[in-house]
Amino acid sequence: MVNSLKNLLPGKPKGIGIELAPDRISVAQLRKQGQGFKLGALATVPVPEGLFQEGQITDVVGMAELIQSVLADNKLKVKRVATAIAGGRDTVTRIIPIPAELNDQELREMVLNQEAGLYLPFPREEADVDYQKLGLFVDEDGIEKFQVLLVATRKEITDSYVRTFQQAGLQIDVLEISSFSLIRTIREQLRQFSPQEAVAIVDIEFESTEISIAVDGVPQFSRTVPIGTYQIQSALSRAMNLPPSRSTELLQSMTIPVNPSDSMSGPGKMGGSNPGAAAMLRIIGELADELRRSIDFYLNQGDNLEVAQLLLAGPGGSIGQLDEFFTQRLSLPSSQIDPITALGLEVTQEVPLTQRPGLGVVLGLGLREAR
């Protein structure tokens, strides 16, 4: 049984990274090679409907069997894994100020038993909580304090992950929030920005999009909105009179028009004559509006705050020209994440560019277990 989120700080390397999502299971094994890493194994398999919904594992036995199958098919004999829980209504990440004069035991007592309950949308006794002490700062009253990163999730969620991996014959080394895994993957990219510049990381997943605004690699604000690739794909399919599908291959073959003059001049181009264009753009426009609200909320928290760039990740991050669309819509430089390049990974198998933005979380988990 897990009593808290496990090991926010790096632990002993032992296994592989496994990401569970409503539409897919992704597995990554990384190995240290000199000063860098080599991609030892990478696999993604679809998840049938009904196993994982709204951020929760709904069929522990079915999901465990699928995990065992993908490991066997890829000849991966491991016993330990790092995995992650997607952000949403059942997770909380907050930075809270704690008096600097407290010793480690007093700090732990205050964070876990006093402060945590103030920030949770569910009862403290129903939560697994962990924390990490960050840097010192002096508040407006001249009092020295620590910034503490508080992380919590519902126990029923963490328990379902533990049961699933136990059912699959695996032990969880690391259980963290998925946005932390993604930030680990792109940490070198984030170091290009000054400590005053925030970066909005937009992880467009199957059922939802997680928006994380990070400064110096630390998430300052997180929000999940119920718009993902499934909603975009469904709008596109309905408009084109296609049957519903959980596959987003059609979506990833499309290119968003960023100029009114764009037309059906090439494969996948969406112009005015394409019946799916308006429907798809309406959903993506709604996502852009939610991004704007999130960024404005962050900027209103204090003076001299700046969001320098938007980074797009997740399966939806690979939609053609989505970065240019957001750049124009939000007047904010936007770019798609390529985790393979970000990590400088040596790869022995070809990884298509359209798949790469969706690998940020699982590669970040693989880094925790690299050896």
> Where residue 173 sits, what CATH number does that domain have?
3.30.420.40
pLDDT of residue 266: 37
CATH number at residue 140: 3.30.1490.300
Question: Phi, psi at residue 41, to the nearest 5°?
Answer: -155, 145
**C-alpha to C-alpha distances, 52 to 20, 42, 249, nearest whole angstrom:** 8, 21, 20
Whether 39 and 130 map to the same domain: the answer is no
Residue 178 lies in a domain: yes
- The CB density around residue 170, as the number of other CB atoms within 10 Å, is 21
Whether 56 and 175 map to the same domain: the answer is yes
Average pLDDT over residues 364-368: 93
Whether 125 and 51 map to the same domain: the answer is no
Q: Which residues contact 48 (CB under 8 A, 6 or more apart)?
A: 62
Question: Structurally, how many domains does the chain consist of?
Answer: 2
Task: Give pLDDT tens digits for 54-81.
Answer: 888 999 999 999 999 999 999 999 999 9
Whether 135 and 181 map to the same domain: the answer is no
pLDDT of residue 226: 95
Both structure tokens of 236: 């596109």
Which of 7-16, 121-130, 174-183, 199-208 is the least confident region? 7-16
CB contact at 8 A, 174 and 142: no
Mean residue pLDDT of the chain comes to 87
Question: Phi, psi at residue 192, to the nearest 5°?
Answer: -75, -15
Whether 26 and 66 map to the same domain: the answer is yes
pLDDT of residue 263: 41
pLDDT-derived band at 273 (thresholds 50, 70, 90) equals low
> Domain ends where: 107, 134, 154?
154
User: Does residue 272 carry a pLDDT above 60?
Assistant: no
Q: Is 330 helix (H, G, I), strand (E, B) or coil?
A: helix
pLDDT of residue 14: 60
Query: What is the residue whose two structure tokens read 């604000």?
Result: 221
User: Does residue 142 carry a pLDDT above 50?
Assistant: yes
User: Does residue 312 carry a pLDDT above 80?
Assistant: yes
Whether 84 and 167 map to the same domain: the answer is yes
Residue 240 lies in a domain: no
Whether 164 and 67 map to the same domain: the answer is yes
pLDDT-derived band at 229 (thresholds 50, 70, 90) equals very high
User: What is the percent of the chain with per-residue pLDDT over 90, rounded to a whole number?
Assistant: 58
Strand segments (E) across 66-196: 80-85, 91-99, 127-138, 144-154, 171-177
pTM (2 decimals)? 0.89
Average pLDDT over residues 41-64: 93
In terms of residue numbers, what domain contains 46?
16-89+155-191+339-370
Residue 79 lies in a domain: yes
pLDDT of residue 323: 95
Residue 60 lies in a domain: yes
Residue 37 lies in a domain: yes
pLDDT-derived band at 251 (thresholds 50, 70, 90) equals confident
Whether 166 and 36 map to the same domain: the answer is yes
Query: What is the residue whose two structure tokens read 């005053």?
Result: 196
pLDDT of residue 270: 43
Whether 81 and 162 map to the same domain: the answer is yes
Residue 121 lies in a domain: yes
Beta bridge partners of residue 337, listed in sequence order: none
- The CB density around residue 88, as the number of other CB atoms within 10 Å, is 21
Whether 144 and 26 map to the same domain: the answer is no
Both structure tokens of 48: 């049938």
Whether 68 and 166 map to the same domain: the answer is yes
Residue type, 53: Q
Closest of 161, 214, 224, 159 to residue 190, by C-alpha = 214
Residue 199 lies in a domain: no
CB contact at 8 A, 363 and 7: no
Which of 108-117, 135-144, 179-188, 218-227 is the least confident region? 135-144
Whether 178 and 62 map to the same domain: the answer is yes
Residue 113 lies in a domain: yes
Average pLDDT over residues 15-35: 92
pLDDT of residue 253: 76
pLDDT-derived band at 2 (thresholds 50, 70, 90) equals very low
Q: Is 226 helix (H, G, I), strand (E, B) or coil?
A: coil
Average pLDDT over residues 201-227: 93
Residue 111 per-residue DSSP state: I
Rg (CA), the chain: 21
